[in-house]
Amino acid sequence: MTSIAGQSWVEGANDADGDFSLANLPMGVVAGEGRGLRIGVRIGAFIVDCRVLVEAGFLAQLDEPIRSALTGDSLNAFMSLGRGAWRKARAEMTRLLGAECAELRDHPQRKSIMLPEWGMSVRLPCTIGDYSDFYASLNHATNVGSMFRPDNPLLPNWKHMPIGYHGRASSIVATGTPIRRPSGQTVSNDAGPPTFGPTKLLDYELEVGALIGTGNALGEPITVDCALENVFGLVLLNDWSARDLQKWEYQPLGPFLAKNFASTLSGWVVSVDALEPYRVPLPARPTGDPEPLAYLRAANDVLFDVHLEVSIASSAMRSAGTPATRISRGNFKDMYWTIAQMIAHHTSSGCNLRPGDLLASGTVSGASPDSRGCLLERTWRGSEPITLGDGTERKFLQDGDEVIMRAWCERDGLPRIGFGACRGIITPAR
């Protein structure tokens, strides 16, 4: 009997439409089955408990710091070891889980090492020390800018640097965590006065996040040409946003309480190595656009061909078993600024990034209306409501709505790899 290259002996790993093939092997942190927090590697319908794997004697040929980091309860220590260590661990996991290897498959402790995913809950993959959010989609920035400044949608700085702000790490939550509708100050006319109460314009933002692996020392910028080497992997991020709070507070210092109540992260970190086949060269800039300054320019810079999708299910739809309604479909390759440019710009002042820091792309919107990555754009400020599968209309999110984001890469001749879901249900304001 011959095995097929790239196939695994693990149930569900070879499904053509699955997210978690042998080519993916994303890492995360899980809990359940009477175990505390464990670093896990996802494959098919199973999660490898890395601590039990190491304790059973596997990965013995890897350096002690790698094995030790994998027995921890968050990925930070492993992330700090750098790309060489990540690659060694990944190569050994690929070998152990490949169709031709029986070492783990036939091991007496296999059932204790390989846990069915349905029994486990996914947690945040690492302690996120700092979180910055960019605004790197030209379509998104132009759409939103044109709503508020029809004559001047893009400010003069936008095409010269990836615009961003420093976000809030304490309220980043794992997929599946309920999201309480925030309250705050809103106004009925631009000059005020404000009233305090639950947001009426609750929105999601579809984003891709880069989790920093090694980072840099204070005062030592990361250059754009090697910036991706510092990225441990990518995740999906929902940057929940209260548009009415945002409108009243955002000048002069930018988003504050409109964004700090919650951001949801998908659970499985897809490595830059797994994404390698899905890199696409950064295209030339459109005629008339300025070339980036030298510190933002690299001949090897890339975007990632990642399909993105947002769906919503109301509470009535979930009760009736109605599938979630797809709201938008886009692609991460439509960004104007790359992850490497975001990292180079972020650190160009000397600011240090640390293992586990999160840099998010900003809302990913394509050129077509059905690829717009938030309701503000998708319903054009509520003027073009969308209809859900239960017949109700949405301009913005209602209590009980579940927002489900998905991301995956696929191309003929290549194994599909996916990110899993990034989910959250809105609960009523306190």
Binding residues for Ca ion, rule: CB under 5 A, are: 133, 205, 239
Which C-beta is closer to Ca ion: that of 98 or that of 373? 373
> Least distance (Å) from Ca ion to the CB of residue 247?
15
Distance CA 341, CA 359 (A): 11
CA angle 297, 300, 303 (to 5 degrees): 90
Catalytic residue among 107, 140, 166, 346: 140
Q: Calculate the alpha carbon distances from 417 to 201, 234, 262, 308, 325 in Å.
A: 34, 12, 27, 12, 23
Residues 6+ apart with CB under 8 A from 91: none
22: exposed, middle or buried (Cβ count in 10 Å: 0-12, 13-18, 19+)? buried
> Least distance (Å) from Ca ion to the CB of residue 166?
12
Distance CA 367, CA 211 (A): 27
140 in active site: yes
> Least distance (Å) from Ca ion to the CB of residue 205?
4
Distance CA 107, CA 193 (A): 68
Which C-beta is closer to Ca ion: that of 117 or that of 334? 334
Which C-beta is closer to Ca ion: that of 97 or that of 376? 376
Which C-beta is closer to Ca ion: that of 49 or that of 239? 239
In this structure, the strands spanning 206-212 and 183-186 are unpaired
How crowded is the C-beta side of 295, counted as CA atoms within 13 Å? Answer: 15
> Least distance (Å) from Ca ion to the CB of residue 207?
6
> Least distance (Å) from Ca ion to the CB of residue 372?
14
Classified as helix, coil or strand, 143 is helix
Structure tokens at 105: 């498959």
What is the side-by-side strand order in the sheet with 35-43?
114-116, 46-49, 35-43, 27-32, 120-123
Phi, psi for residue 36 in degrees, rounded to 5: -75, -160
DSSP secondary structure letters along 25-80: --EEEEEETTEEEEEEEEETTEEEEHHHHHHTTTTTTS-HHHHHHHTSSSSHHHHH
> Least distance (Å) from Ca ion to the CB of residue 144?
10
Kind and range of the H or E element at 264?
Answer: strand 263-265
Which C-beta is closer to Ca ion: that of 239 or that of 309? 239
> Least distance (Å) from Ca ion to the CB of residue 165?
9
Q: Calculate the alpha carbon distances from 32 to 19, 39, 269 in Å.
A: 22, 12, 19
How crowded is the C-beta side of 139, counted as CA atoms within 13 Å? Answer: 21
Name the residue number minimizing CB distance to Ca ion: 239
Active site residues: 140
